[in-house]
Structure 1
Amino acid sequence: MQDATRIIQENFAILAPLFIIQLILMITALISLAKTEAANGPKWLWALIIIFINIIGPIIYFIFGKRDY
């Protein structure tokens, strides 16, 4: 258990920016999904993809799910 804690502490400088980028992407995609009237598919499904498929989910939404009218 102490080894895992030590590894996390040593790699925190690398992991922290990734977590921040993931959080920003997720929040931005969810706000965009909430504001749009129509998406390519059900909105609830896109919300699940954005939330549960970490960094790739929001990117997939912006590429395939968002309709631009």
Structure 2
Amino acid sequence: MKLHYGLDDLKDIDFMAFIPIILPFLAVGLLLVSIALIDLYRHRNTRENVLIWTFVILFVNTIGPILYLVIGRKDSDRS
């Protein structure tokens, strides 16, 4: 049993076999980001910290859109 693998061992891996496993996760992540960004854009006048939420949604993978949808959607009292 090898304890250490080098970059040369990557050529032996069949990456196409992993696509059916990875694709659903990528699709769900993209869907979450899209829904969160659309909601943020539609309600940008009543949300606080729109720029910060945009960065959180885009750069904090999977957890960012969930955080926005759970705690970021609270409307502010501005009209």
| TM-score normalised by structure 1 residue count | 0.82
Does residue 24 of the first structure (1) align with residue 31 of the second (2)?
yes
Q: Deviations over 1:15-41 (max 9, x none)?
A: 0000011111101100000011222x4
Unmatched tracts of structure 1, length 5 or more: none
**Structure with bigger gyration radius:** 2
| TM-score normalised by structure 2 residue count | 0.73
Query: CA RMSD for the aligned pairs?
Result: 1.7
Cα distance in 1 for partners of 2:32, 2:22 equals 16
Q: Deviations over 1:22-69 (max 9, x none)?
A: 111101100000011222x41000000000111111000011111258
SS at structure 2 position matched to 1:67: coil
Unmatched tracts of structure 2, length 5 or more: 1-9
User: For residues 3 and 42 of structure 1, do their structure 2 counterparts lie closer, same or farther at Cα, with a shift above 3 Å needed?
Assistant: farther
% identical aligned pairs: 30
User: For residues 3 and 56 of structure 1, do their structure 2 counterparts lie closer, same or farther at Cα, with a shift above 3 Å needed?
Assistant: farther
Which residue of the partner structure matches residue 68 of structure 2? 61
